[in-house]
Structure 1
Amino acid sequence: MSEPNRKKTFVDPQVQGALVRRLIMHWIGFFVLASLVAFVLQVLSDPFQPISDHLQQVWWTQGPFLLAALFLLPVFVLDTIKLSHRFVGPINRLQCTIRSIADGNMPTKLKFRDFDFWQSLADDFNQMIDRLRSDGNSCEEAADEDEPAAV
């Protein structure tokens, strides 16, 4: 089954933004470390060459790898946003439903997309709604029985 699209991909900027920032920090750390290791290995291979020769040699030997890593960063960011959408979207939907109930609207059952996380959360929420409805009906019936019949 295909995955239905939500209108927004960046649903919760606080959560998804934190994930993207963390991913970028990790990527930069990896990129700097990989570059540094490549440079140190180059210098250790012939320590008496000038630094400019070492930098040029690192560029020619490791440059394609570093460029590939650089071009992969946007792919990593987009994939992180898409993955986070699968757990942020359902929580956002739950939050909107709870706000709606708090505003006095009738509770509606939750249905998350098939590929979303937290499916059991929707099931538990729906069981709670069913239970509240059935308890509410029995309480209303009991209240009606206590009132004297209208003559």
Structure 2
Amino acid sequence: MKAKRPPRPLRQQLLIDNDVQVALILRAVLYGSACVIYFVVIQFFTQSMIHPGVNTADLFFSLTDEAMYWVPGLLVLGPLMIYDVLKVSNRFAGPIFSMRREMQNLIDGKEGRNITFRTDDHWSTLAMQFNNIREELLELRAKMADEAEEEEEDDSWMDATPADDAVPVG
């Protein structure tokens, strides 16, 4: 029976894959901004329909009065949402980052290492599949090296030069 490995430590770095995680943060900010704009526009039109005789400037002032109730919440929840997006995206960006690093090691001719993902990471089966492919690649490399060595030994007779004191036949 295999001994169970201790869980890997928590990631210290929130931003693992800049391209992916920054894109997710920007997307979240875009959606948040779209929601705020939608809310303001709906409030403006609702207020203008409820109070048809009020001029536009007064409607905007009434919106700013109402904003004091929801803007502080947005300012508190916005950073929390971004932090949460980073934490959640870390669960799939981290494993892919590790796998890309180890694939590059294999491409560079290094042995690399087996990958183990953290217990709360996504795609845990991907690590097992990568490790199987890595082992197979290392076995193939070793087999090819052995075959090349054997072939080199078999061809060594071709490199031999006749000795000067050899007796001619014939």
Does TM, normalized by the shorter one, top 0.5? yes
Partner residue in 2 for 1:18: 23
Q: Is the 8 A contact 2:8 2:117 kept in 1?
A: no
Q: Which runs of 5+ in 2 are unaligned?
A: 1-5, 155-170
Partner residue in 2 for 1:104: 109
Paired AA for residue 85 in structure 1: N
Q: Which has the higher Rg, Structure 1 or Structure 2?
A: 2
Number of residue pairs matched by the alignment:
148
Q: Which runs of 5+ in 1 are unaligned?
A: none
After superposition, give the CA deviation of every residue in 1:16-59 in whole Å (9 maximum; x if it has no partner). 11111111111101101111111211121111124444334444
Paired AA for residue 104 in structure 2: R
Q: Report percent identity of matched pairs.
A: 25
Q: Is the 8 A contact 2:111 2:138 kept in 1?
A: no
Which SS does the other structure have where 2:106 is aligned? Answer: helix
Which SS does the other structure have where 2:137 is aligned? Answer: helix
Partner residue in 1 for 2:158: none
Query: Measured at CA, do residues 100 and 141 of structure 1 come closer, stay the same or move farther in structure 2, by a change above 3 Å?
Result: closer
Which moves more between the two structures, 57-66 or 114-123? 57-66
Partners of 1:3 and 1:47 lie apart in 2 by 63
**What is the CA-CA distance between 1:5 and the residue it aligns to?**
1.9
Paired AA for residue 47 in structure 1: P
- The structure 2 residue matched to 1:34, chosen from 36, 39, 43, is 39
Partners of 2:72 and 2:47 lie apart in 1 by 18
Q: Is the 8 A contact 1:110 1:126 kept in 2?
A: yes
Which SS does the other structure have where 1:92 is aligned? Answer: helix
Q: Please state if 1:132 is matched with 2:142.
A: no
Partner residue in 1 for 2:87: 82
Q: Please state if 1:67 is matched with 2:72.
A: yes
Partners of 1:131 and 1:63 lie apart in 2 by 62
